[in-house]
Structure 1
Amino acid sequence: MSWALAILFGVAVILFIVSFFKTDSMKIEQQIEQITSTFGDEVSQLQMQIRNLEIDSEIMAQEAGLLAGSSEKWSLLHDVLDLYKRGYSLDSIAAKKERSIEEIQDMLVPYIKAKEERRKVANDI
């Protein structure tokens, strides 16, 4: 009988010690999840900023000094180019921006033509 009590007491002590490691492990796991989530959000924000900078730089390269119009026109061109680069069709872009398809095509011509010319040069090499 005393052996049984001693064994039960020993098992209780072992389980008590294991419970401390288990709670520390859970805290560490929660911290890792929080850091991972924060890191993922920051990466998404950086990707969005990079995409916007790429679009802006492409617009600047095409329109260098030619776009003296309003910031409204710049914003529209930015949005249209962004949707085009994401893979939206010209029809859906026109519907989303409430413009005609021809108007959207006219806005995108310099960017589509430049892209096709790059492909031709790459294929010629």
Structure 2
Amino acid sequence: MEWILAGLFALSALLLIISFVSSRKESKERQEEIDILHITNMNEINELRDMISNIEHDIEIIVNKAGIELPVQERHFLREVLDLYKRKYSIDSIARKTRMPENEIRQIIDTYIAPKSERRKVANEN
């Protein structure tokens, strides 16, 4: 009887050790997967930052070549109006949000966003 209890105790200790070893191995594999995903995400973020930086430089070059100087506040205002319009806000709601008359908002949108039919004509002419 004593030998059976000692044997069961030894077997349980052996199974406990095996369990710890296998769980440690699994956790290392999971950690490696997480590290790989983290590195991949960081690389993608760096690529996006580079792309954004290039776009900002391109815009700066275009603005300087065109000789256009807009105050920072006006540029932010135009960006907000165009962003709201592209997110399908109505002209009325954009006017209310920016506290500007609807006709001014309509003029801004018409200036920067060409109607689709005109875009097709230009694309088909080339």
TM-score (norm 2): 0.57
Deviations 1:14-63 (CA, angstroms, capped at 9, x unpaired): 23222233245346546755875786698689769968x879978x979x
Structure 1 match to 2:98: 97
Q: Distance in 2 between matches of 1:56 and 1:101?
A: 33
Separation in 2 of the partners of 1:45 and 1:88? 32
Match of 2:107 in 1: 106
Q: 1:107: Cα distance to partner? A: 0.8
Cα offset, 1:104, TM superposition = 1.2
**Which amino acid is 1:21 matched to?**
S
* 1:41–1:55 CA distance, 2 compared to 1 (3 A): same
The structure-2 alpha-carbon separation of the partners of 1:37 and 1:13, relative to structure 1 and needing over 3 Å to count, comes to same
Q: CA offset at residue 84 of structure 1?
A: 2.0
CA distance in 2, matches of 1:97, 1:44: 33
Pairwise CA RMSD: 4.5
Instruction: Tell me which residue corresponds to 1:118.
Output: 119
> Between Structure 1 and Structure 2, whose CA radius of gyration is higher?
2
Q: Which has the higher contact order (CA 8 A, sep 6+)?
A: 1
List runs of 5+ in structure 2 lacking aligned partners: none
Q: Distance in 2 between matches of 1:55 and 1:83?
A: 21
- Paired residues, number: 125
Q: What CA distance in whole angstroms lies between the structure 2 residues aligned with 1:79 and 1:49?
A: 24
Q: What is the TM-score of this pair, normalised by structure 1?
A: 0.57
Percent of aligned pairs sharing the same letter: 27
Code of the residue aligned with 1:22 in structure 2: it is: S
